[in-house]
Amino acid sequence: MSSDWTCEAHGQVHPFSSYATSALPQVTAHANVPVWCPVPLLPGWTAGGIGACGDERTGAAGTVVALAGPSPLGGPADLLLVAEEPGVGLGASLAGTGAIDPGQLAIGAPDAKIVVAGHPTPLWRSASSEDRIAFVGEAAGVWLWAVLWPPAAELVLLEQLELHDLRHRNHESLVLPVGAPSPRLP
């Protein structure tokens, strides 16, 4: 008998749980990886939930913050920001690929650059389902994924996007504007 979570296709996996934004203190307390979020949020954007891969025994090896707001080209947009250890598969799953990790990266110039924890961070376009667009890079020693709906919402990455790790004590009292629960979190 084993208490490990397993998948027929991928073997041993980390269990995924999604939560309301109000559970942010509990998720950050048990996360082994950053909980990335723009601080401050872009104008008109709200948080629609958070998620974590892992359990109380091992801690979270992957985290996701779901955000929603206006697309630069008009209409609504959704953004999922994922931090995960290699081999977790959360970002690839949310991007809609069948892979675990993003595969070969850093071919040519990056497709986007954002500021993460005060450092310029390159992101490269990753495989994704047709209804979304995904970018991936590395920050704080783990994968950083940005998955956006619709694909034209990629222009959000050109905004003054500066990600902070919400586990840091400077953000303990941060109150995020809360919107509707995200339909993008499983």
Give the structural domain span for 57. 7-98+112-171
Q: N- to C-terminal Cα distance for the chain?
A: 27
Q: How many residues does the chain have?
A: 186
Q: What's the pLDDT score for residue 6?
A: 53
Residue 159, in any domain of the structure:
yes
Number of domains in the chain: 1
Pairing of strands 112-116, 162-165: parallel
Q: Is residue 106 part of a domain?
A: no
Rounded to an integer, the average pLDDT of 57-66 is 91
How much is the pLDDT for 1? 45
Domain presence at residue 179: no
Query: What mean pLDDT do residues 134-162 have?
Result: 94
Residue 103 within a domain: no
Element at 25 (helix H, strand E): helix 24-30
Give the pLDDT mean for 130-134: 96
Helices then strands, each counted (H, E), the chain: 2, 12
Which residue type sits at 90?
Answer: L
Q: Is residue 166 part of a domain?
A: yes
What is the rounded CA–CA span in Å between residue 149 and residue 128? 11
Model pLDDT, residue 106? 58
104 located within any domain: no
Confidence of residue 102 (pLDDT cuts 50, 70, 90): confident
Please check whether residue 2 lies inside any domain of the structure.
no
State mean pLDDT over 44-69.
93
pLDDT value of residue 104: 63
Name the band, by pLDDT with cuts 50, 70 and 90, for residue 35: very high
Instruction: Give me the chain's average pLDDT, please.
Output: 90
Whether pLDDT at 128 is above 80:
yes
